[in-house]
């Protein structure tokens, strides 16, 4: 899809979907599926930035998502993702032996900074079973 990462930190992820006619829908803007992919990718970027250091003990998984298309998007679209729950609170649940669920909120904007869609992805950190790595090839503990 040619997504560009402009910012990727534990507090914010910003990704861009460049304007590409191959991704256009019947009205000439980015297809709804392309916009969803942009938003979900931004949510995954912030999750990995915030919780990537826990991969040896927990696997991040998207649990559910919702998107609201608010206006027609034309041209380049930017997705900005933020954590809905502070990372420290999520990690405390994991440290206490739980399986935390948390939301990532995403705003998709056009080049003129108008909101074209909003999205929310709920994630979990599934504790790994002993002897099973969350990423193939990663050493187990």
**Is residue 132 one of the residues assigned to a domain?**
no
**Is residue 90 one of the residues assigned to a domain?**
yes
pLDDT for 26: 92
Q: Which residues pair with 78 in a beta bridge?
A: 16, 109
**Is residue 82 one of the residues assigned to a domain?**
yes
Here the CATH number for the domain that contains residue 28 is: 3.10.129.10
Query: Domain residues for 65?
Result: 4-127
Burial class of residue 77 (count of CB atoms within 10 Å of its CB; 0-12, 13-18, 19+): buried
Number of separate domains in the chain? 1
Residue 134 predicted with pLDDT over 80: no
pLDDT digits (tens, 9 = 90+) for 110-125: 999 999 999 999 999 9
pLDDT digits (tens, 9 = 90+) for 42-100: 999 999 999 999 999 999 999 999 999 999 999 999 999 999 999 999 999 999 999 99
């Amino acid at each position: 899809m040619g997504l560009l990462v402009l910012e990727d930190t534990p507090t914010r992820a910003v990704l861009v979907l460049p304007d590409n006619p191959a991704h256009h829908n019947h009205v000439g803007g980015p297809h709804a599926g392309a916009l969803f992919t942009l938003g979900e990718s931004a949510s995954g970027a912030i999750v990995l930035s915030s919780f990537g250091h826990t991969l040896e003990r927990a696997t991040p998984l998207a649990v559910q998502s919702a998107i609201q298309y608010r206006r027609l998007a034309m041209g380049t679209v930017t997705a900005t993702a933020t954590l809905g729950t502070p990372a420290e609170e999520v990690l405390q649940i994991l440290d206490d032996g739980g399986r935390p669920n948390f939301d990532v909120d995403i705003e998709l904007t056009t080049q003129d900074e108008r909101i074209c869609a909003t999205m929310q992805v709920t994630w979990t950190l599934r504790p790994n079973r002993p002897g099973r790595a969350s990423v193939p090839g990663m050493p187990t503990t």
